[in-house]
Amino acid sequence: MRRTFAASLLLGCLVAFSGCKKDGSASTAPGEGADGARSSSGLLLRYEAKPLELRQKSHYEFTISGGGQYGAAKADLVGRLSVEPAGDKLTVRWKVEDVQNLELTGVLEPKAEEGEPPPPDVKQVLLEMGKGTFVADLRGETDAEATKEHPDVKAENAEVEKLREELEAARKAAGSKEAAAKDPKVQELEGKLAKHQILGMFGGVFSLPTLPKESLEVGKEITTESEESVDLPTGTKLPMEVEATYKVVKIDESSGSRIAELAVSVEASGAVEFEGGMLVVDQSNESTLFWDLDAHVPVSVEAESSQSFSVGEQGQEIGTTIQSEYEVVG
């Protein structure tokens, strides 16, 4: 069980890069107008600041490789997003409703070492504990600072921190590494922490697609460059140079609603001093979002991303694919 989730710390940060708090963006939005409305500046896409219930159905795959190891995960997930306005932000609570076709292989497959109890059942953990909260702006971009201060998130983080402290104390009390591996208290606490790591690996699937800051014209490509920072789990800020390209390919009115097809391409890179050397990160994202201009909600999104990072002589690569459909419920 120890080796199964050894990479979860970096996975939680890097896989969820697009949802992290970013600072110092060099790009600005032309005249804010009505959500999804045409203005003199073009088409501005925004969520509405009102209660909203969405059902999200997603096919999720990711792979991790490096250091002679390989792991893969895939699943079909169904969840519910409950959106509530909070001033100029949105509070989003998500909950897993169903998990199908779950496959975990390689370093991501839960396996107990000899003498350890069985690892947590991943599907059961997701169904029983799969819920979370985040705060986003009206573009759907997660505000990491506001999310961190939300009571639900503070309670969750406090619980995890308490488990870590109890585990450290239990390992010290057990004495040797060999004794700790067989200690029932240590095994119990490791199992509880493993459940939270499972949630961290899959929780980022449930989110609001992020909309561009800029107003867009149909058929016209816009490229922006910005300097942003990502908060690493260690507290370090990773500065990133980001180039993003947006294009509204077309607007389809055949269904009776105006559905915009938005193509997005993002390239990002950054480096920062890290434990063991310089952390170097490169990321590439390609996505296609179908957005209902009348209801101001996502219809579907397909996204693929590749990430590589290295610290000194060691490196890893992560590939992620998410295909999601959204339905207004309630």
For 70-79, what is each residue's pLDDT tens digit? 999 999 999 9
* Domain that includes residue 299, residue range: 8-328
pLDDT at 74 (0 to 100): 96
Q: What is the mean pLDDT of residues 135-159?
A: 95
Q: Please state which of the ranges 38-47, 99-108, 110-119, 185-194 shows the lowest mean pLDDT.
A: 38-47
pLDDT at 41 (0 to 100): 56
Q: Please state which of the ranges 27-36, 70-79, 165-174, 227-236 shows the lowest mean pLDDT.
A: 27-36
The more confident residue out of 180 and 313 is: 180
Burial class (CB in 10 A: 0-12, 13-18, 19+), 92: buried
Residue 318 lies in a domain: yes
Q: What is the mean pLDDT of residues 86-110?
A: 96
User: Using H for helix, E for strand and C for coil, what is the string for the chain?
Assistant: CCCCCCCHHHHHHHCCHHHCCCCCCCCCCCCCCCCCCEECCEECCCCCCCCEEEEEEEEEEEEEEECCEEEEEEEEEEEEEEEEEECCEEEEEEEEEEEEEEEEEECCCCCCCCCCCCCCCHHHHHHHHCEEEEEECCCCCECHHHHHHCHHHHHHHHHHHHHHHHHHHHHHHHCCHHHHHHCHHHHHHHHHHHHHHHHHHHHHHCCCCCCCCCCECECCEEEEEEEEEEECCCCCEEEEEEEEEEEEEEEECCCCCCEEEEEEEEEEEEEEEECCEEEEEEEEEEEEEEEECCCCEEEEEEEEEEEEEEECCEEEEEEEEEEEEEEECC
Check whether 34 has a pLDDT greater than 50: no
| pLDDT range class, residue 12, cuts 50, 70, 90 | very low
Check whether 27 has a pLDDT greater than 60: no
pLDDT at 169 (0 to 100): 96
pLDDT at 42 (0 to 100): 83
| pLDDT range class, residue 234, cuts 50, 70, 90 | confident
Residue 147 lies in a domain: yes
Greatest mean pLDDT among 64-68, 78-82, 185-189 lies in 78-82
Q: What is the mean pLDDT of residues 14-37?
A: 40
Q: What is the pLDDT of residues 200-226, one digit of tens each?
A: 888 889 999 999 999 999 999 999 999
Report the domain count for the chain: 1
Check whether 286 has a pLDDT greater than 80: yes
Quote the percentage of the chain above a pLDDT of 70: 87
Residue 1 lies in a domain: no
Contacts of residue 307, defined as CB under 8 A and 6 or more positions apart, other chains included, come to 14, 15, 17, 281, 282, 283, 284, 317, 318, 319, 320
Greatest mean pLDDT among 3-12, 32-41, 115-124, 137-146 lies in 137-146
Q: What pTM did the predictor assign?
A: 0.85
Quote the percentage of the chain above a pLDDT of 90: 70
Q: What is the pLDDT of residues 105-115, one digit of tens each?
A: 999 998 887 77
Residue 96 lies in a domain: yes
Residue 209 lies in a domain: yes
Residue 269 lies in a domain: yes
Q: Please state which of the ranges 13-22, 82-91, 222-231 shows the lowest mean pLDDT.
A: 13-22
- Mean pLDDT, the chain, integer: 87
Check whether 162 has a pLDDT greater than 50: yes
Residue 36 lies in a domain: yes
The more confident residue out of 243 and 23 is: 243
Residue 164 lies in a domain: yes
The more confident residue out of 32 and 200 is: 200
* Domain containing residue 183: CATH number: 2.30.230
Check whether 134 has a pLDDT greater than 70: yes
